[in-house]
Structure 1
Amino acid sequence: MERRNFLRGAVIGTSAAAFGGTLMRGAAYAAPAQPGPGPYGALGSADANGIQLSSGFSSRVIARSGQTVAGTSYTWHNAPDGGACFADGSGWIYVSNSEINPGGGVSAVKFNSSGTVTGAYRIMSNTRQNCAGGKTPWNTWLSCEEVSLGYVYETDPWGVNAATRRDALGRFKHEAAAADPVRRVIYLTEDETDGCLYRFTPATWGNLSSGTLQVLKAGTGTSGSFTWANVPDPDGSPTATRNQVSGVKRFNGGEGCHYANDTVWFTTKGDNRVWQLNLTNNTYELAYDDTLVTGGSAPLTGVDNVTGSSSGDLFVAEDGGNMEICVITPDDVVAPFLRITGQSGSEITGPAFSPSGNRLYFSSQRGTTGSSSGGITYEVTGPFRT
């Protein structure tokens, strides 16, 4: 389905529920994204950093795990994972989780208007396996613990205010979060083979200290309609949050999550899928499935973190695969955007655009060594579509 449009053709109602939330493909939904020429052209040879990019793009290393960030006295954390960018006057800040257990936490790098690193520092410490997370409209970073009965922590990218544990967002194996300022909710993925998708509605928008946690209910198919139901016991003990409500929709390893334009996209690593929630009509469908690629091999495997650009393109990072970030266009074309060579024992994490949209940050979590102490954080600059 083209992401600039919503449901085409059919009316979804009781008939969808009667068939377990599934509909015949083509009656109301277009096929998931298929391989095709990317908007930036073919990838060139690997550059000095081992990254293959299209013409007009260039890369640089921002930080390496265990080493001092250039121009600062701060030592970059191990296993860099999910991240986001925040405007800082005429410059910006990139925050990055550390997927270490125990230890975890979040670091930040500050840039001036020309992109020069002007500082680096720790904004949270002593948590567990901070994997992905999400940016809030009030400019905080939600850092999620990817452990059983894990928490979500709200952190300050400037490092001024102490991190705050947000118990109301539930205790489960958290992965990513995406804020929806229209409905004033936070969507949350769960990294379990039988995980769920959640949304949290704060009692007061901008304050995550209290509110209502809900779980998505739908049929077993890959498209249909959905509803939300309250989770009775968000602390997940003695019964896990994903097992407290009947009729929940199960997802195989929830990973990245991104909101834009009344739509939520999230990935599931267990089946290499990108899902799409159409929030104006409460329907869901597949935006990408590597088993439904026709006419050749799938360009995107090991789906993981996801972000979006102002043009409507999705950028999906691979956990393994052939170490690519792939782009899925609003016209449902999927193609490699970049490829990291010589790092087959790693995964790509934390893609996030600078506020101007002309710089993309991401990490190779284990770098060339295959160890969490070998992480590398990069920046790619170039003519991104707007």
Structure 2
Amino acid sequence: MTPSINDSRRKFIRNSGMATLGFMGLYQFMNPGLSHAKPGLKPAMGYGPLKKDPAGILNLPEGFTYKIISNKGDKMADGLYLPGLADGMGAFQGKNGRTIVVRNHEISPDSLEHSGFGANNELIGTLPAAEFYDFGKGILPSLGGTTTFVYNENSGELEHQYLSLAGTIRNCAGGITPWGSWLTCEESTLRKGEYDGKLEKDHGYVFEVPAQETIHRAVPKPITAMGRFNHEAVAVDPASGVVYLTEDRGDGIFYRYVPNSPGNLHKGGKLQALAILGEKSRDTRNWEDSEGPVFPMMKGHKVRWIDLENVTSPDDDLRFQGFEKGAAVFARGEGIWWGDKEVYFACTNGGKIGAGQVFRYTPSEFEGRPEEQNAPGELSLFAEPNDREILKNCDNLAVAPWGDVILCEDHKHPFLVGITPEGALYHLAENVGYASELAGGVFSPSGKTYFVNIQGPGITVAITGPWKS
């Protein structure tokens, strides 16, 4: 029996590291790896200067350590190989000090070098075709999906890992649910018949993967009512069951899904797009060539929600439908995370110089119900430093149990960027080993371990240290 939203809320708070974030504008910054604070900005010490890693992979503050817990190509418990291009992750409470982590893989069908079935897909026959969403006629199966690993925080060891969803394409990010599953999103709108007729299904959907310690393949059934578009990530409001969704396009929109039965997303619902109340198609990107006025910092804008139709969108035109009806436009919506009573999401190339923005949406107390017209939700722009020494191309994000937001940068020289509840920024880690983005950062439910991927080489690391309480 699926737990109700209210029954699951307390567990969800632990899993999501939920905390109210009293952002103060995100103007304050210091790079602890440098010897001085940026002029005019109040220093934020964070965890102190970053120390040079003797192994030349990940610089961390004093007292912090990391451990590589898995590598692309590792043999998994189900006999398959660990796929490459690891991306978004969700962490869940396991038994006896264990953490269950579901991990996305952003792989295209022809990226055989990242396949979990071997360099020539030679292990493809070990799984029944029915366990794939798109078997590619047995010639070019879709190689994205998810793996699940079980990590023992007491021993600091990864105990086992396995393929938990097969046959999807470019699983980028997703989101945890209050009922103990991971919603994984396809960042693709490929159609049936593409790749010279080999694809058997349309792509661009959200799939649900239960978080389980034992080997279990999720039923590869798309939640079609949540729309077909270039999905990035999702966040679930544990009180209402409403799901918020980002779209990774330079002219994307911000969605919500109001389910008919909260906690049972396959039972259908209403997909909607956010619009600023009293305005038509407001441009929030703040690019120099953006139309309309600059979207201001720290100002709440009341919103309305627009119904979308034909959500399976064969022509990938949901955002255009939204614009015609007045939806706001965003610059590559990416990571999203539920806070206490609000949701935070990153726009990776928003802002005047295209270095990134962070938005906050505060739902109505009547979210998703007719009464919300009298008390609408509000959207605010919280971060837009317009300085690449402060923040560049923010992607995945998560809220730590003590209230800091941790952002992963999508860049060849990326940092983990922390943001305190007072709005000060600091560097938590620096990837010096690989010219590759950091992805999927997430805390264990206990708050003791932060897991993050170095995507290019296919490495997952576990970071521990003197975290704030």
TM-score by length of 1: 0.85
Q: State yes or no: 1:363 paired with 2:426.
A: no
3-state SS of the aligned residue for 2:173? strand
Q: Which amino acid counterpart does residue 282 of structure 1 have in structure 2?
A: G
For residues 220 and 446 of structure 2, the distance between their equivalents in structure 1, rounded to whole angstroms, comes to 27
Contact 1:140 1:156 in 2 (8 A): yes
For residues 303 and 412 of structure 2, the distance between their equivalents in structure 1, rounded to whole angstroms, comes to 31
Contact 1:277 1:283 in 2 (8 A): yes
Q: State yes or no: 1:152 paired with 2:209.
A: no
For residues 301 and 41 of structure 1, the distance between their equivalents in structure 2, rounded to whole angstroms, comes to 20
User: Offset at 1:48?
Assistant: 2.5
Structure 1: gaps of 5 or more residues:
7-29, 367-373
Contact 2:87 2:440 in 1 (8 A): yes
3-state SS of the aligned residue for 1:290? coil
For residues 58 and 393 of structure 2, the distance between their equivalents in structure 1, rounded to whole angstroms, comes to 18
| C-alpha spacing 1:128/1:364, structure 2 compared with 1 (3 Å) | same
Q: State yes or no: 1:277 paired with 2:335.
A: no
3-state SS of the aligned residue for 2:51? coil
* Counterpart mapping for 1:90-105 below 5 A: 90=96, 91-102=98-109, 103-105=143-145
User: Offset at 1:225?
Assistant: 2.2
Q: State yes or no: 1:118 paired with 2:153.
A: no
Q: State yes or no: 1:312 paired with 2:403.
A: yes
For residues 407 and 220 of structure 2, the distance between their equivalents in structure 1, rounded to whole angstroms, comes to 28
Q: Which amino acid counterpart does residue 59 of structure 2 have in structure 1?
A: Q
List structure 1 runs of 4+ shifted beyond 6 angstroms.
none
Contact 1:302 1:321 in 2 (8 A): no
Contact 2:253 2:273 in 1 (8 A): yes
User: Offset at 1:195?
Assistant: 0.1
Q: Which amino acid counterpart does residue 152 of structure 2 have in structure 1?
A: N
Can you list the C-alpha shifts for 1:325-381, whole angstroms capped at 9, x where unaligned? Answer: 10011100011110110312x111111111100100010110xxxxxxx21111101
Which among 287, 305, 313 is matched to residue 236 of structure 1? 313
Which among 184, 202, 205 is matched to residue 241 of structure 2? 184
Structure number with the higher helix fraction is 2
Q: State yes or no: 1:211 paired with 2:306.
A: no
Structure 2: gaps of 5 or more residues:
1-18, 30-42, 110-142, 190-202, 277-281, 284-294, 351-355, 365-375
Can you list the C-alpha shifts for 1:151-181, whole angstroms capped at 9, x where unaligned? Answer: 1011122243424311111000000011111
- Which residue is 2:88 aligned to? 82
Q: Which amino acid counterpart does residue 271 of structure 2 have in structure 1?
A: L
Can you list the C-alpha shifts for 1:290-315, whole angstroms capped at 9, x where unaligned? Answer: 31x5xxx6322111000111111100
- Which residue is 2:443 aligned to? 353
Can you list the C-alpha shifts for 1:227-271, whole angstroms capped at 9, x where unaligned? Answer: 211112211234611122321110111110011111111111122
TM-score by length of 2: 0.71
Contact 2:205 2:223 in 1 (8 A): yes
- Which residue is 2:466 aligned to? 383
User: Offset at 1:205?
Assistant: 1.1
- Which residue is 1:288 aligned to? 383
| C-alpha spacing 1:72/1:298, structure 2 compared with 1 (3 Å) | same
Cα RMSD, aligned residues only: 2.1
Matched pairs, number: 349
Which among 371, 387, 392 is matched to residue 301 of structure 1? 392
Contact 2:46 2:427 in 1 (8 A): no
For residues 243 and 465 of structure 2, the distance between their equivalents in structure 1, rounded to whole angstroms, comes to 31
User: Offset at 1:43?
Assistant: 0.9
3-state SS of the aligned residue for 1:204? coil
Q: State yes or no: 1:162 paired with 2:257.
A: no
Q: State yes or no: 1:133 paired with 2:174.
A: yes
- Which residue is 2:3 aligned to? none
3-state SS of the aligned residue for 1:334? strand
Q: State yes or no: 1:342 paired with 2:441.
A: no
Contact 2:188 2:231 in 1 (8 A): yes
Q: Which moved more, 1:298-307 or 1:239-248?
A: 239-248
For residues 195 and 184 of structure 1, the distance between their equivalents in structure 2, rounded to whole angstroms, comes to 23
Structure number with the higher strand fraction is 1
User: Offset at 1:277?
Assistant: 1.3
For residues 5 and 109 of structure 1, the distance between their equivalents in structure 2, rounded to whole angstroms, comes to 34
3-state SS of the aligned residue for 1:243? helix
3-state SS of the aligned residue for 2:330? coil
Q: Which amino acid counterpart does residue 197 of structure 1 have in structure 2?
A: F
For residues 306 and 33 of structure 1, the distance between their equivalents in structure 2, rounded to whole angstroms, comes to 18
- Which residue is 1:46 aligned to? 53
Larger radius of gyration: 2
| C-alpha spacing 1:143/1:129, structure 2 compared with 1 (3 Å) | same
Contact 2:361 2:378 in 1 (8 A): yes
User: Offset at 1:217?
Assistant: 0.5
The percentage of counterpart residues that share the same residue type is 31
Contact 1:300 1:336 in 2 (8 A): no
Q: State yes or no: 1:61 paired with 2:107.
A: no
